[in-house]
Structures are given as C-alpha cells and as structure tokens.
Structure 1
C-alpha cells in the first residue's frame, strides 16, 4: 500500500477502535464502576533454533481503585513454528494478587495458536486455572485479533486489537460460566532497536455485570516491552498477554 493511502486509513482505524470501546460504554454510567490503571509487561524471546523459542514474561498491573499494585504474573511459554506464519505454544504462569484485590493466588497453564497473515495477526488461547480453594479446573477461551498498520519504514506502526474471554465452565471456587469480558487496545508499536520494541496503547477492559454484580470498565495505559534475542532485521510483533 502506498504511504499516502496508509496515512489516509489512519482515521478509519481509529474510528473502528473507538466503535469497539463505544459498544462497551452502552451500559449507563451509574450501573458500572470504573477504574484507572497502568499495565506493564516485559517479554523476552529466547531462540532455541530457527523454529523454536522460549518466551519469558513478567506483568505488573496498578489500579487506582485498589490502591496500587493489584496483580503480578510471572511465566514462560514454549513456542514451536508448525508452518509459515503459524506457531503453537504452551506455558505456565503464576498469578499473585495484592492490596484491594482479595483473590487468592493461582497457577495457570495455557496452550495457544498464533498466526500472522500480512498485517493481521490472531491468537487463540486456552487457559487452565488452578485455584487453592478447590480441585476443579477453570477453563478460559481467549480469541484475539490484531491489525498492524505501518506508519514509516523505521518500524513505527499503529495497531488495534480485540480480545474476548469466554468461560465454558463454572467452579465452586468462584468461576462463572459464560462470556466474561473484552479487551480493546489502540496504540503504537515503537521501535527501540533491532531487537527491542514497545507497544504503547490505551487499553479498555469491560467486565460484564453478572449474577447481581456490577459491570466494570477499566481504562489503562498499557506499556509492553518486547526483546527478541533472535531478531535480525524483521521486528517481532508480540500479540499481547
């Protein structure tokens, strides 16, 4: 696509991202609670060979309503390229909660398929949640789609993404079956070096109100640093957390 045409599409992409957020905002303000947050994430891709890599991840999230850090996550993900543009991965995360977040710490295993086709990328992830208050496993299905629009030849790009969370089962320790939340992002991929880039974005997370609980909307500044130790020229686009 010519550079001029790409620039002309910026308003269309921004309008599309705004419409996703507007869908979540159809709930009256008095019926939902809102929060301002900061999400930080660091990813390090370590290549084992041309088709295999390990990704180390660390996440910290801050909340105004919960008085500071409310979640941290530490994990690792093993990825294997199965075809051109398609990667299968599996991994583990330990999730801890703090301050106003009264949830118990939990362990999560996950499997995922990640695909890249031109400017589009997708991820289909399955989570298994292990909770200390019960022996049942809570499953989560998380489809994500993302569009990247290059802005210049140095690697700067605009992106928009949407992720849905569907919980196929309920547990006695608290997981409720059904569509739980959505995450929408709009932001920029900022190149730092040949091996390092940062996704800086506005993140809107909307949790549906279910079983008498109030709906919640989170407005977050999301900063995600990705270091790809195997990168040469082409920068790797990390699909998200």
Structure 2
C-alpha cells in the first residue's frame, strides 16, 4: 500500500528528462453529494494556473448525475466544459460528454482503501465537427495515519481512440500521478494537497512534463 504513495516521484523522475517542463498550480473543489435514495451528484470545478504559476491556462467545470448500484459501485453520466488558453496558441472551448463508473478494489479499514474510476469521454471542440473519444482509468489509494488524516495517492493513464484535427492524438495521451495528504476540516469536508506529475505525449513537439502543486477542497455528504 505505501508504495502507491511513492509512485509519483519514482515514476516521474525519468520522464522529466525527455520532456518540455512547466510548473503549475491546480486549485479545485470536487466531491459527491447524495440526493436521496440511491441518486448522487458528482462535481469537479478547477482553475489551473500554468506557465510557471503566472497565468490562468485552463478552467474546468464538470458535473454528473449518478446511481449507487451498491455501497461499493456507482455509475454516472455527465458533462464538462473546459476552456484551454495555452501560451501562443488558439483558445479552445471544449464540451465533453462522459460516462463513468466508480468502484471499490480493496477496503482494508484502518489499513487503507483502494478505489477505481473508469471514465469514457466524448470530446467536442467549438469550430470543429470531429469528436475525440478518450478513456481514462484512475486507481486511487488512501492510507489513514490518525486523527482523520490520510496519505493519498493515485495513478491515471489516458488513452485516445482516434486522432482529430483540433489536437487529440491517437493512442497513449497522458499519465497523471499524485501523492499527498488529506486533512479533515469538518464533517464531510477535507483539504487535499500534494504533488501531481502530468506527463503528456505529443506528436509535433517534445513531450510535456508538468510539475503541479495541487490543492483541493473535497466534499462527501
């Protein structure tokens, strides 16, 4: 279990040598709130400060309605809006439809938990009639360390099924690895902070390695 939390540093170090690099800050509010019965809403709102923490390079607004099949498995359908303003490039306004499944892989109580999240995205960029299909698979671990605090870590590879003229490449797209600390602030609320490494594979340019300070308010009610 503890190896999961060291993976971001162990795996990202060799990748950085072969990539263009940037340092960023990602601030987020995300969580899951029950609507009564088995219905649940899932949301994720982010501001990403890019180019050496100097400018707002991307915003993301994602929300989904879900259904709890059982205590360990939920399915969702949702929509996300993503505005990307890369330095020196055309601003992209992207609309995503997605289908998602959250599930438990291991629940060892005080010894930690491992969960999975599978997401299939259909990506639409304004000004283009092409749809980019992409799959994301996250595995996340949480290890309690006392008084409500927990070490958290995750790995999430992205794979694209097709190439588009607006910039999606087919095949391996990117890998995100995160390691950090969850700090409880109130019942159902926690601050989660740590390091995320984002390795992006690109066709026409050198691959990209983003070193990210991640700060999120998580809500589970």
1:187 pairs with 2:175: no
Counterpart selection for 1:104 from 92, 110, 114: 92
- Relative to structure 2, which stretch is displaced further, 182-191 or 57-66? 57-66
Match of 2:101 among 103, 113, 125: 113
The Cα of 1:21 is off from its aligned counterpart by 1.7
Check if 1:19 corresponds to 2:10.
yes
SS at match of 1:192: strand
**Is 1:224 matched up with 2:188?**
no
The question of whether the paired residues in 1 share the 8 Å contact of 2:29 and 2:216 is answered with: yes
1:39 Cα deviation (Å)? 0.3
With the length of structure 1 as denominator, give the TM-score of the two structures: 0.82
Q: Does 1:172 align with 2:165?
A: yes
Larger radius of gyration: 1
Q: Tell which has more relative contact order, 1 or 2 (C-alpha 8 A, sep 6+).
A: 2
Partner residue of 1:35 out of 17, 22, 27: 22
- Aligned to 1:19, the other structure's residue is in SS state helix
Unaligned runs of 5+ in 2: 108-112
Match of 2:121 in 1: 127
Contact 2:169 2:202 in 1 (8 A): no
Offset at 1:227?
A: 2.1
What RMSD in Å do the two structures reach over aligned CA positions?
1.9
CA displacement, residues 161-215 of structure 1 (integer Å, 9 cap, x when unaligned)? 11001001112332211101100000011111112112111000011242x3111
- Preserved contact between residue 69 and residue 99 of structure 1 (Cα < 8 Å): no
User: Structure 1 stretches (4+) deviating beyond 6 angstroms?
Assistant: none
Aligned to 1:151, the other structure's residue is in SS state strand
**More strand by percentage:** 2
CA distance in 1, matches of 2:14, 2:144: 27
Residue matched to 1:5: none
| Structure 1 unmatched ranges of 5 or more | 1-8, 231-241
